[in-house]
Structure 1
Amino acid sequence: MLLLGIDIGTSSVKVCVVDADSQTIIASAQYPDEESPILSLHTGWAEQSPEMWWQQTQQALNLCHKKGGYDPENISAIGIAYQMHGLVLVDKDQKTLRDSIIWCDSRAVEIGDKAFSEIGNETCLSHMLNSPGNFTASKLAWVKQNEPDVYSKIDKIMLPGDYIAMKLTGEITTSASALSEGIFFDFQFNGLSKDIIDYFGFSDKLFPTVKPVFSSHGRVTTDVAQLLGLTAGIPVTYKAGDQPNNALSLNVLKPGEVAATAGTSGVIYGVSDQLAYDPQSRVNTFAHVNYTTERKRLGVLLCINGTGSLYRWVKNTFGGSLSYQQMNAEAAKAPLGSDGLRILPFGNGAERMLNNKQVGAHLQNIDLNLHTPAHIFRAAQEGIACAFRYGLDIMRENGMNPTVIRAGKTNMFLSDLFAQTFVDATGVPVELYNNDGSLGAALGAGIGAEIYPSQAEAFSKAERVGYVEPKNTQAFETVYQDWKALLEQHLIDSKQGTEKDNSSLI
């Protein structure tokens, strides 16, 4: 019995076919090889075409089929993981009305902040567990205010994964987890937030049918089955945002368990059974994949927009023909602390953990007679690790105190230097597993199709491939405090609106 997982990422779409019994990947593919573009018509804007995601899904699945090793007719269920917080709008014919306003778009920050104030901070935090900020609800309000012609044609709003499921099945559904990540869900009443709906003047009819994450979200239509080389009628039995899905793929389901990822963005995601919130909404709480009204499981999420995106910029700017693996080897030649070179990795939109400020990315303390590309490569990894530590300290303020963090050996965790730097910065050991979003989506589909008797059973054969313990925490603490002082100065400058030295800007 086979399972198909689809991961709609910012950079590419990845698919894999998994053997349900062995829980291993038989074949996988991604498309494109180069990172997908993000459209930025104005500073702070970020959009992608939902149709592009659909075309990439087709291309990735076609590449996967060509690798062979399985019969597509044996695929029993489909799961979808997707980049969170994106706004997709379709009309009554299921045609997209505009490009998706994606997760790192900052245009709606002021709208969300105003809603937070006028609805009431305590109401928002105690009912939605978050400020509206620049989440999906605020993005929809931006469209309503600035593109009334588009807004008037909306039949349904969706998250990116809901859109791909719609393309597969012709049906439009969502979940409590998806609604919560958009700040549309009221945890006190376990339904659509009347406060948000009434404040922004949204119609209830804009929202899809709400179903559990692990359930049937429709079946593949005949036309789509022929297009994709699949069997008509295969159910889509799982949909989840990339970070809840990453946690699922690492078997992070119980209160106190914590996962991390360092792809385009960086995330620490911990599970709680408490309806708690950060008073400043710097870290955010959403319904986890296994959330129910009877058994509350919340995902507490720290997000850093600029992790892999910073390292990609460093590669393109300073790496020349070097691969990421070669860059990592060069970085290891530079000393801990990069001889004083510091990088703030905040150049990919407003950062929630910095109170939605756009601090920008900064490269500081360059010594033209000392620093080499190797220093820059290491300083980038250290800056990203420091950002994780800064965010984890906020999570600790809110009662999340992990003794171990699980991560997939992928993206930046492929670098032994980064993994060690992350551990030294946070002081928390890391367990590494061979996993990715498409594998998690496939196994989630198996849970939703009731192929596995329990959620834990879906990951019973996962093997740890690495364990990293703290080695240089005391030495790195000096680096971190220096980095933190630099960040706090830029936060002060940002608050006061003072003019910055452009020579320090990346």
Structure 2
Amino acid sequence: MLLLGIDIGTSSIKVSVVDAQTQQTIAAAQYPDKESAITSVKPGWAEQSPEMWWEHAQKAIAKANASGSYNPQDISAIGIAYQMHGLVVVDREQHVLRDSIIWCDSRAVEIGNKAFDAIGHDKSLSRLLNSPGNFTASKLAWVKDNEPETYSRIYKVMLPGDFIAMKLTGDITTSPSALSEGVFWDFKQDALSEDVIQYFKFDKELIPEIRPVFSEHGKVKQDIAGALGLKAGIPVTYKSGDQPNNALSLNVLKPGEVAATAGTSGVIYGVSDQLVYDPQSRVNTFAHVNHETNEKRVGVLLCINGTGILNSWVKNNVGSGLDYAAMNEAAQQVNIGSDGLRILPFGNGAERMLNNKIVGAHFLNIDLNLHTQAHIFRAVQEGIVFAFRYGLDIMRENGMNPQVIRAGQANLFLSPLFAQAFVDATGVPVELYMNDGSVGAALGAGIGATVFGSPEEAFSNFRPVKLIEPQATAVYEPIYQEWKSLLLDQLNRK
């Protein structure tokens, strides 16, 4: 039996076809090869077209099918992972009413702050486990306030994965996990938050039918199946935001287990069996994929908007045509600490862990007689690593003390320099695995379709490809403390 996983990323759409019996990837593809555009009409804004995601998803599936390594008719279930917090709105004919306001868009920060005050900090944190912040509910409120004509035509509000499932099946559903990432979910009541709905004066009918993460979210329509070479009627049996899904793909399901990703954004995600929250709301808590009323599993998520996007910016604007591998090789020739060059990587909107401040990216201490292109390459990776360390210390304040962190061998973790610096700066060993988000989505589909007897069975052949242990923690510590002082200086100016 084959399982199809679709990962709706910010940069591209990735798909994987996985053999359920062996849990091995039969084929994988992504589209486009170049990074997808983000529209930014104003500073701090970020939008993408949902129809672009759908077009790219179809092309990625076609690329995988063209490999000839499997028969698409043997695919029996579909799982979807997606960039979190994005707002998608459609009318009754399922037409998209406006581009999606995506995760790194900062326009709704003040709307969320006002909601936090009005609902009450204690009530928000104890029931929502977050402040409304810059999440999907606040983005919907922005549309309500600023685009009333569009708002009046909304039939359903969705997350990006709900939209792709709708395009496949014609059905519109959501889940407690999805609603919690939009800050629509009351964890005390295990239901849609009346506080959020009443404060923003939303109509409850805008919220799709709520189903468990691991359940049927519709069956693939005849015309779509024909276009994609699939069997009509196969179910979509799993939908999850990219970070809970990444944790699933790394078999991070039990309390105390921790995953990390370093793509466009950077994330540390740990599982807890307690309804924990950060009093300053610098980290977020959402329902994990296996969260249930009687067996609570929440994901404590630290997100850094400005990580891989800075590495990409440097490649495109400083790299002189070099690819990432060549950049990494050049960076390895530079001393630890980049000979004093320090970079703050926060140039991708408001940073939650910095109390929603927009700090911007900063290149500091540049010596025009010393620093080279290679110094910039290394300082970028070290700056990103130090941002992770800063965030991990916040998670430690909230009781998350990982003894090991699991990560996919992808994106920035493909760089040996980055992976070792991450371990040395945080002091925590890292296990690297070959699974990625689309593989996790495929395995999630198998769990949802009850192909596997349990989530654990889906990872019966799961083994790390590499263990990285600390080597230069003492060397990195004073460099990190200097970097942190530079960051705090910038924060004090805001």
TM range (shorter): over 0.9
Deviations 1:228-265 (A, max 9, x none): 11110010000000000000000000000000000000
**Alignment pair present for 1:189 and 2:189:** yes
The aligned runs of 1:68-107 (5 Å cut-off) are 68-107=68-107
Q: Which residue of 2 aligns with 1:41?
A: 41
Q: Give 1:462 shift.
A: 1.4
Q: Which residue of 2 aligns with 1:501?
A: none
Q: Partner of 1:464: helix, strand, or coil?
A: coil
Deviations 1:88-109 (A, max 9, x none): 0000111100000000000000
Q: Which residue of 2 aligns with 1:383?
A: 383
Distance 2:469 2:62 in 1: 41
Q: Partner of 2:78: helix, strand, or coil?
A: strand
Distance 1:358 1:285 in 2: 22
Gaps of 5+ in 2: none
Q: Give 1:484 shift.
A: 0.2
Q: Which residue of 2 aligns with 1:8?
A: 8
Distance 2:473 2:122 in 1: 38
Q: Give 1:130 shift.
A: 0.2
The aligned runs of 1:350-361 (5 Å cut-off) are 350-361=350-361
Query: In the alignment, residue 25 of structure 1 is paired with which amino acid?
Result: T
Q: Which residue of 2 aligns with 1:341?
A: 341
> Structure 1 length normalisation: TM-score?
0.97
Gaps of 5+ in 1: 495-506
The aligned runs of 1:258-277 (5 Å cut-off) are 258-277=258-277
Distance 1:165 1:118 in 2: 35
Q: Partner of 1:67: helix, strand, or coil?
A: coil
The aligned runs of 1:357-376 (5 Å cut-off) are 357-376=357-376
Q: Which residue of 2 aligns with 1:53?
A: 53
Query: In the alignment, residue 215 of structure 1 is paired with which amino acid?
Result: S
Q: Partner of 2:465: helix, strand, or coil?
A: strand
Q: Give 1:460 shift.
A: 1.1
Q: Which residue of 1 aligns with 2:129?
A: 129
Q: Tell which deviates more after alignment, 315-324 or 243-252.
A: 315-324
Q: Partner of 2:25: helix, strand, or coil?
A: strand
Q: Which residue of 2 aligns with 1:288?
A: 288
Q: Give 1:392 shift.
A: 0.3
Q: Which residue of 2 aligns with 1:173?
A: 173
**Alignment pair present for 1:232 and 2:198:** no
Q: Give 1:317 shift.
A: 1.6
Q: Which residue of 2 aligns with 1:497?
A: none
Q: Give 1:73 shift.
A: 0.9
Deviations 1:396-427 (A, max 9, x none): 00000000000000000000110000001110
Residue correspondences, number: 494
Distance 1:103 1:330 in 2: 32
Distance 2:293 2:95 in 1: 34
Deviations 1:425-459 (A, max 9, x none): 11000000001110000000000000000101101
Query: In the alignment, residue 257 of structure 2 is paired with which amino acid?
Result: E
**Alignment pair present for 1:203 and 2:216:** no
Q: Partner of 1:195: helix, strand, or coil?
A: helix
Q: Give 1:220 shift.
A: 0.1
The aligned runs of 1:417-496 (5 Å cut-off) are 417-494=417-494
Distance 1:318 1:152 in 2: 45
Deviations 1:355-404 (A, max 9, x none): 00000000000001000111100000000000000000000000000000
Q: Give 1:190 shift.
A: 0.3
Query: In the alignment, residue 281 of structure 1 is paired with which amino acid?
Result: S
Q: Partner of 2:89: helix, strand, or coil?
A: strand
Query: In the alignment, residue 385 of structure 2 is paired with which amino acid?
Result: A
Query: In the alignment, residue 99 of structure 2 is paired with which amino acid?
Result: D
Distance 1:334 1:460 in 2: 41
Query: In the alignment, residue 471 of structure 2 is paired with which amino acid?
Result: K
Q: Which residue of 1 aligns with 2:143?
A: 143
Q: Give 1:316 shift.
A: 1.1
Distance 2:478 2:460 in 1: 41
Q: Which residue of 2 aligns with 1:253?
A: 253
Query: In the alignment, residue 135 of structure 1 is paired with which amino acid?
Result: F
> Structure 2 length normalisation: TM-score?
1.00
Q: Partner of 2:66: helix, strand, or coil?
A: helix
Q: Give 1:43 shift.
A: 0.5
Distance 2:449 2:289 in 1: 15
Distance 1:72 1:379 in 2: 45
Query: In the alignment, residue 334 of structure 2 is paired with which amino acid?
Result: A
Q: Partner of 1:407: helix, strand, or coil?
A: strand
Q: Give 1:320 shift.
A: 1.1
Q: Give 1:63 shift.
A: 0.7
Query: In the alignment, residue 292 of structure 1 is paired with which amino acid?
Result: E
Q: Partner of 2:318: helix, strand, or coil?
A: helix
Query: In the alignment, residue 150 of structure 2 is paired with which amino acid?
Result: V
Deviations 1:23-59 (A, max 9, x none): 0111111000000000001000000000000000111
Q: Partner of 1:132: helix, strand, or coil?
A: coil
Distance 1:435 1:311 in 2: 22
Distance 2:261 2:63 in 1: 26
Q: Give 1:330 shift.
A: 0.5
Query: In the alignment, residue 209 of structure 2 is paired with which amino acid?
Result: T
Deviations 1:247-306 (A, max 9, x none): 000000000000000000000000000011000100000000000101000000000001
Distance 1:66 1:455 in 2: 30
Query: In the alignment, residue 384 of structure 1 is paired with which amino acid?
Result: I
Q: Which residue of 2 aligns with 1:503?
A: none
Could you list the runs of 4 or more consecutive aligned residues of structure 1 that deviate by over 4 angstroms after TM superposition?
Answer: none
Distance 2:321 2:49 in 1: 30
Distance 1:395 1:187 in 2: 20
Q: Give 1:463 shift.
A: 1.7
Q: Which residue of 2 aligns with 1:504?
A: none
Query: In the alignment, residue 440 of structure 1 is paired with which amino acid?
Result: G
Distance 1:423 1:219 in 2: 43
The aligned runs of 1:383-422 (5 Å cut-off) are 383-422=383-422
Q: Which residue of 1 aligns with 2:216?
A: 216
Deviations 1:197-240 (A, max 9, x none): 00000011000000000000000000111111111001000000
Distance 2:425 2:457 in 1: 33
Query: In the alignment, residue 190 of structure 1 is paired with which amino acid?
Result: D
